A and B are shown apart, each in its own frame.
Chain A
Amino acid sequence: MSEESGKRHDSKRGVSRRSFLGTMGAGTLGVAVTGRTAPAREAVTVESDGTHPVTLRVNGRRFDLRVEPRWTLLDVLRDHLELTGTKLGCSRGECGACTVLIDEQARYACMTLAVEADGREITTVEGLMHGEELGPVQQAFVEEDAFQCGYCTPGQVVAAEGLLRGNPDPDLAEIQKRMSGNLCRCGAYDHIFKAVRRAAELRRSTTH
């Protein structure tokens, strides 16, 4: 692997591991050009102890930072962008606490390498606020009392948002199926499913 060093994005010079967070660029709200096709990507080689520059668009803001190959999107959101709304539960793709939207689709941030998220549009629970107001899905979770300890809630809310973006009026069976990647150890499922129904109504009645 060492013959490639000329091509490497060497990163270690003069930057401490913990302070890679670079510029937080101007807002790019509303440009979400999404689609299934991955953006064209250039070839990259990063050594295990090196870092690579990535651009993440999180909740409409652009973040340029350097990441190690092994950092997950969850590591970066929580530990480097200080967006701690996204929770760490199992770190194995089993619980859904870390659910975010990547290019509009619900995915697990713990199972996504940050370097693989380069250039993607990412939405976390923080991005569902309307200014200081709760967004409709969040509001619905409050109204329906859809949590007990609340640990799974950010992931539930983002999964519900992803569901409703694709299907604004799901029936109960669809809700149960599409929310099945989010476990709730407190067993608040009935209320969660009601909240998703309520969120669908709220989303339809608000213009946003």
Chain B
Amino acid sequence: MLPQFDYIRPGSLDEAVARGAGDGAVLHSGGTDLLGCLRDGVFTADTVVAIGHLAELRGIEETRDGGLRIGALSTLSEIAAHPLIAERYTVLSLGAGSAASPQLRNQGTIGGNICQRPRCWYFRGDFHCLRKGGSMCYAVAGANQYHCIFGGDRCYIVHPSDTAPALVALGARARIIGPSGTRVVPLESFFVLPAQNVRRETILEPGELVAEVLLPPPGVGLRSTYRKVRARGAWDFALAGAAAALTFSDGRVNGGRLVLSGVAPIPWRAAEAERVLIDNPLDAETIRRAVEACVADARPMPHNGYKVDLVRGVVAETLRSLA
């Protein structure tokens, strides 16, 4: 059975923010990540503040600038099945559709997906690790086959989300509502590296919640896709993945982003590879150079060197499928 907690279903968004800022309060959207964390004692909660009923946080609709507003409570199933998202923002549709299992996608929300806690087995297990306020990262000398090859520093988690890389690739922004007002932040600046703060994965302050995700209008000639490698065919987290959203003109890449999943503590922008792609046709030679640029600064751990080759393979496949 779950440990005990108070349950609050606030009457309004304002009340949700006020209650969410309380000591020991945690937000509950779909609960698919939260309940697992509580059950396993990853963290404790005095109060669960349920926000799943708040109408302001729902809905998917076009914005006046030609972009798209996705309410934070939109489920992964809704996003994966949305015709406009599939057509214009394919990478997000595929990311949402490849996360977790059908049942979890029916319940899990995009807000919860980008705010979920890492899956490192030491963090989830009975280890008082650095991220839980302890003094060491057990992955450094331990079983680190599923840990990061980029961006590690004292702690070596990978970010578990399959939608976050797509959102970063698309240049999406998050509207965040908190006790001191509203701010709109590019998803790229939403995630926190261990070097910045080893205790948290997002910039959210107590009481802040993600209200919606805003997609810019799709760029002219945008092609996008997501590929995810996992250890088996059924549901699983990414061992490595690539979210690409590139714009083309006259047969050449003229903009866009390439973002890796499953290999870094945040959705990892392959900036060097993006530079290789720009102004070039997406041919075999460009792809070969982009792939090498992707892995040039990889720092594998003793047991996850295979991820370097996985990145090579998944990036090559991803780019080829857009050519």
Contact = CB atoms under 8 A, between A and B. Distances in A.
Interface of A: 1, 36-38, 40-49, 52, 68-72, 75, 91-93, 96, 99, 105-108, 111-113, 115-116, 159, 163, 176-181, 183
B83 interface: no
A1 B31 contact: no
Contacts, number: 120
Interface in B87-126: 100-104, 106-107
Contacts of B107: 107-108, 111-112
Contacts of A116: 28, 31, 50, 52
Contacts of A159: 102-103
B289 interface: no
A58 B95 CA distance: 33
Contact of A113 (B7, B46, B77, B235): B7
Interface residues of B, number: 40
Nearest to B3: A70
Nearest to A105: B106
Secondary structure of the A side of the interface? loop
Contacts of A112: 31, 107
Contacts of A106: 102-103, 106
B303 interface: no
A107 B53 CA distance: 17
Interface stretch (B8-16, B179-187, B256-264): B8-16
A40 B11 CA distance: 10
A121 to B, nearest CB: 14
Most buried by B among A70, A71, A92, A176: A70
B58 interface: yes
Interface of B: 1-11, 15, 22, 28, 31-32, 35-36, 39-40, 46-48, 50, 52-53, 55, 58, 77-78, 100-104, 106-107, 233-235
A44 B7 contact: yes
B78 A36 contact: yes
Contact of A115 (B7, B106, B233): B7
Contact of B4 (A49, A91, A181): A49
29 contacts: A1-B22, A37-B55, A38-B58, A41-B9, A41-B53, A43-B10, A48-B5, A48-B6, A48-B7, A48-B46, A49-B4, A69-B5, A70-B1, A70-B2, A70-B4, A72-B2, A91-B39, A93-B100, A105-B106, A106-B103, A107-B106, A111-B35, A111-B107, A159-B102, A163-B102, A176-B233, A180-B233, A180-B234, A181-B103
Nearest to B22: A1
A91 B36 CA distance: 8
Most buried by B among A96, A113, A163: A113
A46 B6 contact: yes
Nearest to B107: A107
B116 to A, nearest CB: 12
Contacts of B35: 72, 93, 111, 113
Given A38-B52, A106-B102, A177-B102, A44 B8 contact: yes
B15 A43 contact: yes
A69 B106 contact: no
Given A106-B106, A180-B101, A1 B47 contact: yes
B101 A181 contact: yes
A183 B4 contact: no
In order of increasing CB-CB distance, the 5 nearest A-B pairs are: A181-B101, A43-B11, A69-B7, A48-B4, A70-B2
B94 to A, nearest CB: 13
Contacts of B78: 36
B104 A183 contact: no
B57 to A, nearest CB: 11
Contacts of B47: 1
